[in-house]
C-alpha cells in the first residue's frame, strides 16, 4: 500500500508541476526549437512575441524585459536593433517582419518607407541602351543603394553588376570627353567606385584619388568639405592643412540654407579624426555637432528635406542626436520627404539616413578580396609567357566621342590590333566584333549591335594614338591584322560619320563576307 500511495503522489506532483510551468510561462516552450517569429530567452526558453516587453518576467530570467525601457543614449547589443523612439531594443530579425514590436512609432513604418524609397531608386532604371539605363546620376544611385543594402555589389547581384558596368562606361566617357570635369563630380565618382568595388586609384591606369588631391592642393581659396571627406574615405593621407580647410569651410557657412555644407564639414572632420594620424581637437567637432542642432525647426525640419537628412547623418557621430535633438521627429520628417521628393539628390541623402548610415560609411571594406568576375577573367586571359607590353583599347561612339569603355591590356610584343580586339572580346563577350573580310583580311564592321550603316553614313573606323597624349588619333587604313602595335599605344574603335574609303580597292572577282572571329 505504501508503494502505491508513493507512486500516486509522484504522478500527481509531476502533472501539477507541468500545469504550473505552462500557466506561469504563458506560451513558454523550453524544449522545442524557437521559431524566428518568437523570442528566444537568454536561458534558452522561447516565448511568443505577444508577451515580449509586457512588464512580466515571462522568460524566467527577465531577458524579455531587459531592453524594453532604455535611455536614448543606450547602444543596443549585437543582433538587436533600436526602435525609432530609441527607448527599446528588439531582436534585429524582427525588423521588417510585418509585425509591430516597437511602441509609439512602429519600426514597420520606417521599413515601409525604406522599401518605398528603394523601389523608387530601382524604378529610375530604364529599359533603353544597356550602357545608359541608370542615367547621369548613376554615381549617387550606386552610393545610396549600397548604404541601404550592403549586398548591392556582392558577387551575383545583377543590379550591382549592371550599375558597376554602366558606372565604368559613363566615367570613361566623361574623362575622355571632358578632362576638366569638376572636382565635385570627380569626387562623386570616386565614392561610387569605392562602393562598387572598383579601385579609384587605378581606374584603367588613372589614379583618380591622386587627381582629386592635386586639385585640392591647387585651390588656395575655398575647399568644399565633401572633397576632403571623399579623399579620407578613399584612404588618402590626411594633413593638418585638411583640418584647416574643413574648419574654414564650416566657419564660412553662416548664411541661411548652407547648413548642409556644415554637416558635410562635420563628417569630414570626423573621418580625419578617426582614420588618420592627424591630431584633431575633438571638442571642436563636438561644438560643430552641437551647433547643427540649433538649426532644427520646431516641426523637426532643418531647412529642407535634403539638409535634414544630412544633419541627421552628421548627428549619428558620437550619437549626438541623443541630447537636444528630437531624432524621432526628424525621422518622421524624412519619411514625409519620401512621399514629397522627386529628386535623386534628396533621396540620395534620405535613404542612408533611414538606415542609420551616413556618407562616412562609404568604403570598399565590404568588397570581396577576390576580383570581380570580369577582372578575374582579365587576369586569366592575360597570363602571357615571354615579353609583354601595355596598350589601351577604347570604344568611341558618335562624333562627340562618347567613350563606351577603355581597357588597359598587357599583351605579347609583336601583337597586332586584331590580337588586342580579340583579347578584349574574350574578356567581355559584349565586345565581340564582326568583321567584313576583304582579300582574306578582316576589317571592323560591327560591335555590340552597332553595324556599318551606309544610309546613315555611320561606319566603324580604327585609330591609333599614344596613351595619355593630346595628339589627334590617326586613322588606320590597313587591316587590323596587318598593324603591329607598339608599347603605350591606344587603339580606338570609333563609330562615327564619314565615308569609308580607306579599305583596299576591291576587284570584281573579290568576295567579301561578314564573319565573327
The domain locations on the chain are 33-105, 108-361, 388-497
Read off the C-alpha cell for 69. 525601457
Nearest to 227 by CA among 185, 193, 260: 185
291 annotated as a binding-site residue: no
What is the DSSP annotation of 235-268?
A: TPPP-HHHHHHHHHHHHH--STT-HHHHHHHHHH
Under the banding of pLDDT at 50, 70 and 90, the label for residue 21 is very low
Decide the pairing of beta strands 89-91 and 46-47: unpaired
Residue linked to cell 575647399: 223
**Spatial contact of 143 and 348, defined as CB atoms under 8 Å apart:** yes
Write out the three cell numbers for 123. 524604378
A 10 A CB-CB count for 134 gives 22
Quick one: pLDDT at residue 414?
A: 87
**Residue 507: pLDDT band by 50, 70, 90 thresholds?**
very low
Q: Which helix (H) or strand (E) element contains residue 450?
A: strand 450-451
Angle in degrees, 0-180, between the axes of helices 417-427 and 373-381, rounded to the nearest 10: 140
Position with higher pLDDT, 332 vs 379: 332
Indicate the burial class of 234 (C-beta count within 10 angstroms; 0-12, 13-18, 19 or more): buried
Confirm whether pTM is higher than 0.75: no
CA distances from 171 to 18, 181, 345 (A): 69, 10, 19
260 appears as a binding residue in the annotation: yes
In angstroms, the Cα distances linking 376 to 142, 162, 363, 370, 379 are: 22, 17, 21, 8, 5
> Is 488:408 a contact under the CB 8 Å cutoff?
no
Lowest mean pLDDT among 6-10, 130-134, 150-154, 178-182: 6-10
pLDDT at 221 over 80: yes
Q: Each residue of 422-465: pLDDT tens digit? A: 888 877 767 889 998 888 889 999 887 788 888 778 889 999 99
Are the C-beta atoms of residues 387 and 457 closer than 8 Å to each other? no
Question: DSSP alpha helices (H): ranges in 55-182?
Answer: 107-122, 138-148, 158-177
User: Helix or strand or coil: residue 320?
Assistant: helix
Report the alpha-carbon distance of residue 466 to residue 485 in Å, rounded. 11
In percent, the amount of the chain with pLDDT more than 90 equals 39
Q: What angle do CA 453, 459, 460 make, to 5 degrees?
A: 135
Least confidently predicted of 67-81, 203-217, 494-508: 494-508
Helix or strand (DSSP H, E) at 464: strand 458-466
The rounded distance, in Å, linking the Cα atoms of 318 and 404 is 44
pLDDT at 381 over 90: no
Fold of 388-497: Ferric Hydroxamate Uptake Protein; Chain A, domain 1 (2.170.130)
Q: Could you count the other beta carbons within 10 Å of the beta carbon of residue 254?
A: 9
C-alpha cell, 244:
584647416
Report the top-level CATH class of 108-361. Answer: mainly alpha
Relative orientation angle of helices 305-315 and 259-275, to the nearest 10 degrees: 20
Residue (of 325, 320, 249) closest to 287 by Cα position: 320
Cell of 135: 542615367
Give the CATH superfamily of 33-105. Answer: Low-density Lipoprotein Receptor (4.10.400.10)
The SS3 of residue 196 is coil
| C-alpha cell, 125 | 532604371
Question: Which pLDDT does position 479 carry in this prediction?
Answer: 93
Q: How far is it, in rounded angstroms, from Cα 168 to Cα 145?
A: 17
Amino acid at each position: 500500500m505504501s508503494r502505491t500511495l508513493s507512486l500516486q503522489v509522484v504522478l500527481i506532483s509531476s502533472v501539477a508541476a507541468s500545469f504550473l510551468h505552462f500557466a506561469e510561462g504563458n506560451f513558454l516552450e523550453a524544449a522545442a526549437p524557437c521559431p524566428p517569429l518568437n523570442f528566444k530567452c537568454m536561458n534558452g526558453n522561447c516565448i511568443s512575441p505577444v508577451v515580449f516587453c509586457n512588464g512580466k518576467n515571462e522568460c524566467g530570467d527577465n531577458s524579455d524585459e531587459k531592453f524594453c525601457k532604455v535611455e536614448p543614449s543606450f547602444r543596443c547589443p549585437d543582433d538587436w536593433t533600436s526602435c525609432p523612439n530609441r527607448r527599446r531594443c528588439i531582436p534585429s530579425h524582427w525588423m521588417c517582419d510585418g509585425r509591430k514590436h516597437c511602441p509609439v512609432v512602429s519600426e514597420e513604418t520606417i521599413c515601409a518607407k525604406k522599401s518605398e524609397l528603394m523601389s523608387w531608386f530601382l524604378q529610375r532604371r530604364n529599359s533603353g541602351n544597356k550602357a545608359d539605363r541608370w542615367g547621369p546620376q548613376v554615381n549617387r544611385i550606386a552610393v545610396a543603394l549600397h548604404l541601404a543594402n550592403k549586398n548591392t555589389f556582392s558577387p551575383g547581384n545583377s543590379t550591382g553588376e549592371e550599375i558597376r558596368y554602366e558606372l565604368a562606361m559613363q566615367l570613361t566617357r566623361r574623362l575622355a570627353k571632358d578632362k576638366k570635369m569638376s572636382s565635385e563630380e570627380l569626387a562623386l565618382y570616386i565614392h561610387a567606385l569605392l562602393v562598387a568595388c572598383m579601385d579609384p586609384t587605378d581606374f584603367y591606369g588613372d589614379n583618380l584619388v591622386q587627381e582629386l588631391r592635386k586639385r585640392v592642393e591647387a585651390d588656395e581659396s575655398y575647399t568644399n568639405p565633401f572633397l576632403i571627406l571623399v579623399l579620407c574615405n578613399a584612404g588618402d593621407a590626411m594633413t593638418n592643412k585638411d583640418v584647416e580647410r574643413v574648419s574654414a569651410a564650416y566657419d564660412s557657412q553662416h548664411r541661411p540654407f548652407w547648413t548642409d555644407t556644415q554637416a558635410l564639414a562635420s563628417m569630414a572632420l570626423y573621418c580625419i579624426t578617426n582614420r588618420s594620424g592627424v591630431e584633431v581637437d575633438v571638442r571642436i567637432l563636438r561644438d560643430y555637432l552641437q551647433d547643427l542642432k540649433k538649426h532644427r525647426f520646431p516641426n523637426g525640419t532643418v531647412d529642407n528635406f535634403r539638409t535634414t537628412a544630412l544633419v541627421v547623418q552628421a548627428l549619428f557621430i558620437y550619437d549626438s542626436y541623443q541630447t537636444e535633438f528630437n531624432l524621432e521627429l526628424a525621422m518622421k520628417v524624412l519619411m514625409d520627404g519620401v512621399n514629397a521628393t522627386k529628386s535623386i539628390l534628396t533621396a540620395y541623402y534620405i535613404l542612408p539616413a533611414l538606415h542609420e548610415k551616413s556618407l562616412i560609411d562609404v568604403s570598399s571594406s565590404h568588397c570581396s578580396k577576390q576580383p570581380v568576375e570580369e577582372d578575374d577573367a582579365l587576369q586569366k586571359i592575360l597570363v602571357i609567357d615571354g615579353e609583354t607590353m601595355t596598350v589601351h583599347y577604347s570604344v568611341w561612339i558618335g562624333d562627340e566621342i562618347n567613350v563606351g569603355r577603355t581597357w588597359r591590356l598587357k599583351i605579347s610584343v609583336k601583337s597586332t590590333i586584331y590580337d588586342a580586339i580579340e583579347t578584349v572580346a574574350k574578356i567581355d563577350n559584349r565586345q565581340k566584333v564582326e568583321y567584313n573580310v576583304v582579300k582574306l583580311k578582316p576589317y571592323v564592321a560591327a560591335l555590340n549591335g552597332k553595324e556599318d550603316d551606309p544610309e546613315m553614313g555611320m561606319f566603324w573606323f580604327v585609330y591609333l594614338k599614344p596613351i595619355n597624349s593630346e595628339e589627334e588619333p590617326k586613322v588606320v587604313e590597313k587591316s587590323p591584322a596587318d598593324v603591329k602595335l607598339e608599347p603605350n599605344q591606344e587603339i580606338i574603335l570609333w563609330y562615327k560619320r564619314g565615308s569609308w574609303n580607306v579599305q583596299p580597292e576591291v576587284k570584281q572577282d573579290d568576295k567579301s563576307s561578314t564573319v565573327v572571329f
